[in-house]
A and B are shown apart, each in its own frame.
Chain A
Amino acid sequence: MTGSSGARGAKLTQTTAVLVMCAVLIVIFSIFLKGFLTLGNVFALARNISILGILALGMAVVVIGRGLDLSQVASFAASTAIAIILMNSGYATPIALLIGFVMAFAIGILNGFLISVIEMPPLLTTLASSLAVLGIVRTTAVQHYVVYLSKGHDEFLRLGGNIWGGVPISILIFAATAVVVHLFLSRTVIGRFVYAHGDNPDAARQTGLPTRPLTMIEYALCAAIGYVGGVVMVAQTALMHLQVAESTIIFDVIMVVVLGGVSLVGGRGNVMSVIAGTLLIGVLLNGMTIMDMDVQTQNIVKGVVLLIAILLDSRLHPRDEETSKQGD
C-alpha cells in the first residue's frame, strides 16, 4: 500500500510542480513581456491552447495505455479535409462531420489493429500510417495543401468564435472534452481497463482483459478526440492546411502529455496532468510568440524542453530496457 500511495504522491507532485512552474512562467512573462497579461492575450492564449489541449487529451488515452500515436495529427488533418470537401459539395454539416469522424475513428482502429494483432511497434506503425494516410488523401481527394471551407457555413464557424464578451467557445469545448475524458478514464470500466493495460499489459492480458480490442479502442479514441480538435481548428480558421501534419504540433502534444505527468511507461497520470501540461506549454508558446521568436528557434527551444522532459520521465518512471519492446 505504501508503494501505491507513494506513486500517487509522485503523480500529484508532478502535476503540482508543473502548475507551479506554469505560475512562475506567467509571473515572469507578465513582468518582462509587454502585452502578456492583457485580456486579449489571455483569450488568444485560451484559443490556442484549447486545440492543443484537446489533442493532448486524446493522446493521453493512448499514452496511459502504454502506446503513442504519431499519426494523430495526420489523421485529423486528413479526415477534417474530407469533411470540408463534403461540406463544400453540399452535404449537410452534421453528416459531413460524422463522415470525417468515422474516418478518423477507422484510422485509429487500423492503427490499433496493426499494433495489437500484428504486434508492430506503435511508434513505427503510427509514423508509417500517417505517411500512408496523408499520401492517399492527397493523391485521391486533396490536390493542394490547403482546403478552404466555402462560404455559407456560418453556423459551423460560430464554434470557432467567442461568447460572453470574448470567451472563446473552443476553450469551452476543451473543458467539455476534458470532463468527458475524465469521466471516461475514472468512472467507466473501459477507462479503468486502459489504466490496467498501460500499467502492465501482460498482467492485463493474463487476467483476461481483451487487450487487443482495448488497444484498438485507445487508438480510435485518440484519433476521434484529435478529430474534435481538428474540427475546432477548422471552425477557427475556416480552412485545413494539410502541412499541419508535417509540422511539429505532434511533438507539442507529446510534450504536453509527458510534461504533465502522463508517463510514457503507461498507467500514470490523468486529465488534470494534461490540463497542467497544456497550460505550461501554452504559456511557453504564447510567450515565445510574443517575444517574436521565429518558428525554427521555437522548434529548437521546444525540442530541448521535450528532450529534458523525456529524460526526466525516464528518470522518474524508469522502464526495463532489457525487456521493453524494441522500436520505441
Chain B
Amino acid sequence: MKSLQRAWHRHSPQLFLGELLEKRWMEPIIPFTLTIAVFLAFAIMIPRYLTAGSLQELMRNFAEQGMVAVAMAFSVLSGGIDLSVGAVFAMSNFLALYLYLILGLPLPVTIVLVVLFGAAMGAINGGLIAYGKTRPFLTTLVVLIIVRAAYNKVTVAFTNELASIDSGSSTWDFMGSGRVLGIPFNMLVLILLAVGTHFFLTRIKPGVHIMAVGSSRKAARHAGVNVKRVLFSAYVMSGAIAALAGILYAARQSSSGTDTGVGWEINALAAVVLGGISLAGGRGTIARAVMGAAIIFMLTSGMVRLGISGNLTTAIIGIILLLAVGFNVKWVKNKGKVLQKVYVTPSWVDFEPPPSVERGSGTPFAENDRLKNAEAIALNMIEGPEDIILDRKDNLYTVNRNGSIIRFLAPDYTVREEFARIGGRPLGLAFDRDQNLLVCIAGMGVYGVKPDRSVFKVTDRTTRTRTRLKDDSRLYLADDLDVAPDGKIYFSEASTRYELTDWALDGFEGRGNGRLICHDPKTGTTRTVLKNLTFPNGICISHDGQSVLWASTWLCQINRFWIAGPKAGTSEILIDNLPGYCDNINRASDGKYWLAFVGLRTPVYDIAMRNPVFRTRMVKQIPPDEWLCPGINYGCVVKFDDNGAVTESLWDPGGLSHPTITSVREHKGYLYIGGLENNRIGRIRLQDADPTWEAHKSYWGGA
C-alpha cells in the first residue's frame, strides 16, 4: 500500500497536468477539439455529410464567414472590437456587383476600389477610435448602423438592375465557383489570407506592433510604438479584409439581398471568442479565429440542415457567446491561480533520523563555536555572495545579487570593483585552466569571464528530454560547476521546474527535477549526463579527477558520479542522511572536501517530507508567510573525505553572522565563507591547513 502511494506521488498525473497547462498550444487545443467534435457530431447526425461534394459545399459557404472572423480578429487582437465588419462585408458585396456588373469596370479595378472602400470604412472606425479616443464597441456599432442603412437604401434603389445582371466573365465565375485541386477558390483565398495574416501578426513589425498594443497599450507606448497609428492600421485592415470577403461573396452569389451579412458581426465575434482569442487583446492567433468561425458555421449550417428554427439558432449563438466570453474572462483572470494550485506536486521522501548535532554529543557534527569569530570581509559591500573564489594573485571574486561579479583586491580586500556585469543571478564560480572565470547564472546558463574582463557565453541549452511536455532544453537554474582535468565543464541544474526565487517550492516537491550537465568546450556541445536528480547543488571534481561529487540538497546526500576509471558512467551515493541540506562542495588542502550546509534538518520538516498530502495542502491553503520551511537560520560547514566519512564541522551557532552558508572556499590557510543572503564574506584561519595550498595548483598543477 505504501509503495503504491509512493509510486503515485512519484508519477503524479498532476505533474503532467501542471506542465500541460503551461504549454502555449494548450489554449487553442480547446477550440480545436471542439471543432473536431462538432464536425464529427454533424457527420454522424446528417447523412452524406462527409461526401466530397458536401464538404466542398461546406467549404464554399464557410470561406467568407471565415474571412469576416479574421477581420474581427484583427480588431480584437489590437484590443478593440469591430462590429461594422458585417455591414462593410454586405456593402462591399453590393459595390462589387455594382462596379463590375452594372458599371462594367474592369475586374482588377473593381477589386481595388472595393478593398479601398473597406479600408476607408476601417479608417473611419480607426480614426475615431485611435485619434478621437472613442469607445470601439459603440463607435463600430454606430458605423454598422450607418453602413447597413446605406446598404439597405442602395439595394432597394438598384433592385431591378441587380435582378437582371449577367454573370460576367469567366474569371468572375471562377472566383465564384472555381476550384483549385478540389478546394473552392474562396476557401483557397481564406487559407492564403489566414497564413499571410498569421505571418504578418507574428513576424512582420507592423503586425507584431498590433499584438503589442493589444497586449498592453501602456507597455507598447513605453517601447516607442506609435499606438494611435497601430490601432488605426488594425481597423483599416479589418475593413479591407471584410471587403475582400464581400467581393468573393458577390462572385459566388451574384446577388445582394436584404439579409446579406446580417448578424455576421455577431457570428464573427462569437467565433473569435470561442476560438479563445482574449477580448482583452493581444492573445490569440488567426488560426484560432478560423477554428472558432468553423465551429459557429458548422453549428448554424448544421442546425439549418437538421431543421432547427432560426430563432433557436439565434438563441444558441447568444448563449454560446455568453458562455465563451464568461469562460474567456474567468480563464484569463484565474489561469495563473489554477496553474499555481496544480503545479506544485510534492513527492514522498523518507528520512532516517539524522546523526546528532547536539553540542558535546561526540559526533563529528556536534555544535561548536569555530565560525563565531570569523573576520568579516566586505561587510555591507556585497549582497548575497552565493559563491566565492580566489585567483592566483589572491584576489577575491564573488557574485552579487544584481547580476555582477565583484572583485575585492588582495591583500586586505577593502577595495571593491565590479569585475564583470553579466545579468541574471550569478551563483557558482570556477576557474578553468586558462584562468577564465566560469560562472553559473540562474535564468541564463553558464557564462565565462576572461582575465581581460570580457564576458563570453559558455552554454545556455542542453539536450531536451523527449518524453517530457515541458521544454527543458533551456537552462533554468544552473547552480554550481567545476572543471574536469580534460577541460569538460560539469554543472548542476538545480531544478527544471522552478525559478531561483521559488527554490522553496522545489523543496516542498522534493522531487528529481534537476540534472547534471556536461559541456565540452572542445566540441562546443552540451549534454545532460544525469537527470531526475533532487536539487543537485554543489559540484566538485574529486582530487583524483576521476569522479564528480554532487550534493543533493533536499535528500541531504553527497553522490559520486564516475567520469573516468573502471566505474566510469556509474553513480553511487557517497554520504547519505546528513543532518543538513547540502550546498557547494569544494576541495580542501588535506585531500578532503569542504561542504556547506545551507540549512539544518528539523524533525518536523522531516515528517512533512514524508507526507506529500500535507505539503500539497500547505501550499494550496495557507499564505506563503505561514509555510513550513527548512531551517536555514544556522551556520554550519563540514569536511568529508573520499570515503564518505565526515571528519569535522565548524559552526556559527544561531547563524548570527553567517546563516544560510552556501559556499566555503579554502585558500592559503584561510577558509572563506559565503552565503546566499549574506551581507559579508567571512574568513577564518585554519590552524592545521597548508598555508601555501591554492585551488588552482590542486586542479592544474604547476607552481
Contacts and interface: CB of A to CB of B under 8 A. Distances in A.
A306 B136 CA distance: 14
Contact of B149 (A68, A133, A139, A300): A300
Contact of A124 (B146, B311, B325): B325
A307 B322 contact: no
Residue of B79, B133, B143, B325 contacting most chain A CB atoms (<10 Å): B325
A119 B333 contact: yes
Interface stretch (A190-198, A275-283, A319-327): A319-327
Contacts of A307: 128, 134, 139, 142-143, 146
A201 to B, nearest CB: 16
A296 B145 CA distance: 9
Interface residues of B, number: 48
B138 A123 contact: yes
Contact of B145 (A118, A128, A131, A248): A248
Given A134-B315, A310-B142, A114 B137 contact: no
B153 interface: yes
22 contacts: A120-B322, A124-B137, A124-B269, A124-B321, A127-B266, A132-B315, A134-B314, A135-B312, A139-B309, A264-B135, A294-B153, A296-B153, A296-B156, A297-B153, A300-B150, A307-B143, A307-B146, A310-B128, A314-B132, A321-B217, A327-B81, A327-B279
Nearest to A326: B280
A128 B150 contact: no
A303 B145 contact: yes
A254 interface: yes
Given A251-B145, A297-B153, A314-B135, A114 B322 contact: yes
Contact of B318 (A68, A120, A129, A254): A129
Contact of B322 (A128, A248, A327): A128
B281 interface: yes
Chain B interface mostly: helix
A23 interface: no
Interface in A253-312: 254, 264, 294-297, 299-300, 302-304, 306-307, 310-311
A223 B139 CA distance: 23
A38 to B, nearest CB: 29
A138 interface: yes
B374 interface: no
Given A135-B314, A264-B135, A125 B322 contact: yes
A255 B152 CA distance: 22
A132 B330 contact: no
Q: Categorize the interface residue count of chain A.
A: 35 or more
Residue of B148, B311, B316 contacting most chain A CB atoms (<10 Å): B311
A251 B152 contact: no
Interface in B122-173: 128, 132-139, 141-143, 145-146, 148-150, 152-153, 156
B319 interface: yes
Contacts of A139: 309, 311-312, 315
B325 A125 contact: yes
A321 B318 contact: no
Contacts of B315: 131-132, 134-136, 138-139
A296 B149 contact: yes
A131 B269 CA distance: 13
A297 to B, nearest CB: 7
Interface string B194-220: 000000000000000000000001100
